[in-house]
Structure 1
Amino acid sequence: MDIDIRRPNALTAAELTSWKTLQEKAYLHGSPQMANPFLSPEFTLAVGAARRGVRVAVVRDDGVHGEPVAFFPYQRGPAGVGRAVGLGLSDCQGLVHAPGFRWEARELLTACDLAIWEFDHLAQQQDSFEQSVTGTFPSPVMDVADGWDAYVARLRARSGRGTKVRLALERKMARATGEVRYVHDERDPAALRTLLAWKSAQYRRTGRSDRFAHPSNVRLAEDLFTRRTDSFAGLLSVLYVADRPVAAHFGLRSGHVLACWFPAYDPDFAKYSPGIVLHLRMARGAAEDGLSYLDLGRGQRLHKDMLKTGELSVSEGWVSRQHHPVALAHRARRAPARMLRNTVVARPELRKPADRLLKSVGRVRAHVRTS
């Protein structure tokens, strides 16, 4: 293998085209996750503009002048600690490669000057990384490849009564509040700011770390909102009552996939389940756009279970150079917290008390801010 390390903004137009072509070929050859927009060059370019240390390994089989067969985006930190691009925000990670391409993980890490590479949403069919997986988790999807009606039929096959109730939620909201309006591709930046404010409040209210308290994450969302190519877009979808936004979602769209990312709603309308109404509208919009599925992302949530018609898988773990002291130290520091989190999430008898505790923390935070 010939491996050339580049900054994202130093990739040539021909290389960016090759990257996108590899994604399309992988999808057509039965690797749908490879078409995920988190694996697109546009996402790596945006993260590279917001964060330090973002690099791309351009892999060729036939020397420096050959056609690229793989692209490996990563972030390099101090002492060669590597992370997936956008780790903590990205919902799909890995090496974008030609069908059938095989690589040696430690050779790749050596070329990238990495002691270790950490991931938490590794896509399927990443054979050379899979030996380093420490856990695999479902990522629910809403399959709309055969159209909206086919998606609804699959929902009804899972839960006829529940599906009927959920499909009636929008009519119930309209009777109580007035005209309900949906914009699938909202281009007003003010609507994005409203969503980010809702999301920050939700994080604080539920005791979670507020991702949008970090200006770099806000800049990343704003950047992705403006990025548009034939195969990529930052997609903002908004549900309105008259002219008032009541629910919104910002995600990333590729030619085949809508990656669901940041949904939130106005708590004043919580009793109408605006998030469910919004996601059903998004599914219909995605079907009309010719997309194949909405990826709801790793994690167990009630709305995901209500809306899913299938599942993909993502994995977490580390791939490292053998016996490297930096790799050993990084794993020793990170592994206990990850293990504890996964244990709590996997066991309902622990997850519910943990959620209550986090909400209590959120109430304390709110009291401290207002006092």
Structure 2
Amino acid sequence: MQDARQTMTQTATLLPLPALSANDKASWTSFRAEDPSLASPYFALSYLQTLEKVHPGIEVLKVCEGERTVGFLPFRRDLIGTCRPPDGPLADLHGVIASPDSAIDLSTALETAGLGGYAFSAVPYQQARHGLSGMTGEGNQIIDLSAGYDGWLAERYEANSAFRRTHRKILKLFDDHEIEITHDRFDPRVFNRLIELKQDGYASAGHFDVFSLGWPQALLDALCHEETGEVRGVMSVMKINGEVAAACLCMRSASVLHYWYPGYEKAFADLKPGHAMLFSLAEWAAGEGISEFHLGLGNVQYKRQMASYAAPVRQGVLAVATPQKILTRFNAWSQAREASGGRLFALPAKLARKVDRVALMGRLSA
């Protein structure tokens, strides 16, 4: 006999984030508690509420079966009606908030609400059940602290010889220099310097400066001063021989610490202060009862060494309306041309990426 829930019609309602009811908020919290893939602070309602204060305009697609709420999709729409992550370029992770045993007919829900589609770059791979199949992107690299800091060290020592060498260098750094690292203590001067370091990094790499948008810095500052919500910012500062050498701004929920904005002074680059900061953060997080330290997306060397595993994510576009379908086909065609080689063949793909950046950032200069 077929499950009655599978045959029940789903309905979709579009709401501004501040209009969520007390029952909606309770359902959101319950869904996250049931699904380990939603443990990241990115999926917490309190994170989005803080974001809404500094960058208003977040919408939520609420999906129900009868009287029962089965899921939410928070988003911000672009000029042609495509849903995008509500935190734009800051969105390491995003997606549907639902219990792990439910499947949302997201395509129908988007169409019903008059939305053109959903562009996603890093949804948990399990969300293929909602129609977000796409491509498999680079995974979220995760340090498993469930067995404590020493348990993680022992696991990585056994698994990775490069990790052993790196850790020994960090121990030597502490032996050879006067090191002071503080966590969860906000310093406005260091905060402003960290933003400058990130902006310098964007400029030298030829990337768009996300802090030129204004609200990203305001969000980080607000999270660092958050006292009541589940999610808050965590600032760490490392001094070598009395001078600030590195700083990092992370974001935490009850069980997850997310490595977000690190920076270090070039004068100390040879000492690898960033590595030392990571080890110290992992030890601090374990002491706070945090079970997962998320290093974010990217298959870079230091993340591979430090991470216990990578949680796969998906990227793509769920296109519903004609404009989104045309853009999706153009993107696929341009990527195929670029892969075939030749500078001229790469031009359509560059245009497609430019269009996507402008839609995500909301700036023509992106």
Residue in structure 1 matched with residue 147 of structure 2 by the alignment: 146
Query: Which of 5, 26, 33 is the equivalent residue of 2:37?
Result: 33
| Residue 62 in structure 1 maps to residue 61 in structure 2 | no
- What is the rounded CA distance, in whole Å, between the counterparts of 1:341 and 1:273 in structure 2? 37
Deviations 1:331-354 (A, max 9, x none): 25655787899999xxxxxxxxxx
CA-based RMSD: 2.6
The offset of 1:36, in angstroms, is 1.1
Distance in 1, matches of 2:43 and 2:340, equals 28
Structure 1 contact 4–58 (Cα < 8 Å) conserved: yes
Q: Distance in 2 between matches of 1:343 and 1:285?
A: 48
Q: Distance in 2 between matches of 1:40 and 1:164?
A: 35
Q: Tell me the distance in 2 between the aligned counterparts of 1:134 and 1:77.
A: 22
Q: Deviations over 1:45-73 (max 9, x none)?
A: 2333344542012333332xx4x332210
Deviates more, 1:144-153 or 1:110-119: 110-119
Which position in structure 1 is the counterpart of 2:173?
173
The separation in 2 between residues aligned to 1:174 and 1:6, in whole angstroms, is: 52
Task: Using the TM superposition, give the Cα deviation of residue 306 of structure 1 relative to its aligned residue in structure 2, in angstroms.
Answer: 2.2
CA distance in 2, matches of 1:305, 1:196: 26
Q: Would you say 1:217 and 2:216 are equivalent positions?
A: yes
Asked if 1 retains the 8 angstrom alpha-carbon contact of 2:125 and 2:136, the reply is no
Partners of 2:134 and 2:317 in 1: how far apart? 7
Aligned residue type for 1:45: Q
Q: Which residue of 1 aligns with 2:232?
A: 233
* Deviations, residues 164-202 of structure 1 (Å, cap 9, x unaligned): 432344444345542x11112122233322211111112
Q: How does 1:38-117 map to 2 (within 5 A)?
A: 38-51=42-55, 53-63=57-67, 66=68, 68-117=69-118
For residue 155 of structure 1, report the CA deviation from its aligned partner: 1.1
Supply the distance in 1 between the matched residues of 2:43 and 2:229 (Cα, whole angstroms): 15
Structure 2 CA distance for partners of 1:317 and 1:340, relative to 1, 3 Å: farther
* Inter-CA distance 121–110: structure 2 relative to 1 (3 Å threshold): same
Distance 1:194 1:337 in 2: 40
What are structure 2's unaligned runs of at least 5 residues? 1-9, 342-366
Distance apart, 1:277 and its partner CA: 0.4
1:79 alignment partner, SS class: coil
| TM-score for the superposition, normalised by structure 2 | 0.82
Distance 1:2 1:176 in 2: 63
Is the CA contact (8 Å cut-off) linking 1:166 and 1:277 kept in structure 2?
no
> Structure 1 length as normaliser, TM-score?
0.81
Alignment of 1:123-202 (within 5 A): 123-130=124-131, 132-160=133-161, 162-178=162-178, 180-202=179-201
Distance change in 2, residues 1:203/1:12 (3 Å):
same
Judged with a 3 Å threshold, the aligned counterparts in structure 2 of structure 1 residues 60 and 130 are, in CA distance, closer, same or farther, namely closer
* Distance in 1 of aligned mates of 2:16 and 2:212: 27
* Aligned-partner Cα distance in 2 for 1:228–1:338: 46
1:82-125 deviation per Cα after TM superposition (whole angstroms, max 9, x unaligned):
11222321111111112311111212212432111100011121
CA distance in 2, matches of 1:48, 1:185: 23
- In structure 2, how many angstroms separate the alpha carbons of the residues matched to 1:255 and 1:116? 32
3-state SS of the aligned residue for 2:88?
coil
Alignment size in residue pairs: 332
8 Å Cα contact 1:53/1:77 also seen in 2: no
Q: Which residue number in structure 1 is paired with residue 25 of structure 2? A: 16
Where 1:280 maps in the other structure, the secondary structure is: helix
Alignment check: 8 A CA contact 1:105 1:128 kept: no
The structure-2 alpha-carbon separation of the partners of 1:12 and 1:337, relative to structure 1 and needing over 3 Å to count, comes to farther
Could you tell me whether the CA contact under 8 Å between 1:42 and 1:227 is conserved in 2?
Answer: no
| CA distance, structure 1, for counterparts of residue 92 and residue 338 of structure 2 | 17
What are the equivalent positions in structure 2 for 1:263-282 lying under 5 Å apart?
263-282=262-281
Q: Measured at CA, do residues 70 and 298 of structure 1 come closer, stay the same or move farther in structure 2, by a change above 3 Å?
A: same
Could you tell me which amino acid in structure 1 is paired with residue 221 of structure 2?
E
Task: Determine the structure 2 residue equivalent to 1:353.
Answer: none
Structure 1: any 5+ residue segments left out of the alignment? Answer: 27-31, 345-371
Structure 1 residues 79 and 210, CA, compared in 2 at 3 Å: closer, same or farther?
Answer: closer
1:169–1:277 contact (8 Å) kept in structure 2 = no
